[in-house]
Amino acid sequence: MASFLKGITATAVVNGSVANVGAALHYKDHTLPPIGIDPKRLKHPEPGVGDIRDVIHNPLEEPHRKSLIPIGKADCKFLFIVGGDDRNWKSDIYAQIASQLLVEEGKEKPEIVFYPKAGHYIEPPYFPLCKASFHKLVNLPVVWGGEPKAHALAQVDSWQRIQNFFHKHLNGKNVLKNKL
């Protein structure tokens, strides 16, 4: 949204992709096609369960660049929350790509917070870790990554950071203190 809409001043991205995924995205006269996948890169950590981290094509290579979200058009501050054990996609690499694209467009380098042992679903604090669930696009259960304790700590810390980020960039002040 920050790439297409005016008036957005702060954006927090939790394990996001730099490419459009799943279905074509249409906004006014602009269409982002979904990035392709290579099903041969699907791994099976156990029978009947998939690990899809490596199936999405590289969004920086042609012809997949057409799916790249034009993040450099955004006029806002960014916070990227990244789980180092995200098994959905390469959110660690995507945050670095987003940072590079923003800097190339003359934008401020975003804040990136990396949690090495957190998985894909870094939700608000005290949500249980979702180790695996059915993925409609893949049509089978997939793993999401994360070690329980580290993931839980990432949820608590990231929630405080996200709130502080929004308070700072929307209200102009820090009001929350991290306790970790």
Q: Could you give all domains of the chain from N- to C-terminal order, each with its CATH number? A: 10-171 (3.40.50.1820)
- To 10 degrees, the CA torsion angle through 62, 66, 70, 72? 30
Predicted pLDDT at 179: 54
pLDDT in single tens digits along all 180 residues of the chain: 999 999 999 999 999 999 999 999 999 999 999 999 999 999 999 999 999 999 999 999 999 999 999 999 999 999 999 999 999 999 999 999 999 999 999 999 999 999 999 999 999 999 999 999 999 988 999 999 999 999 999 999 999 999 999 999 998 766 555 555
Predicted pLDDT at 175: 57
b/e map of 117-155 (b: 16 or more CB within 10 Å)? bbbbbbbeeeeebebbeeeeeeeeebbbbbeeebbbbbb
Predicted pLDDT at 112: 98
Predicted pLDDT at 172: 74
Q: What's the whole-model pTM score?
A: 0.92
Predicted pLDDT at 174: 60
| DSSP three-state, residue 52 | coil
The residue length of the chain stands at 180
- To 10 degrees, the CA torsion angle through 153, 159, 104, 70? 120
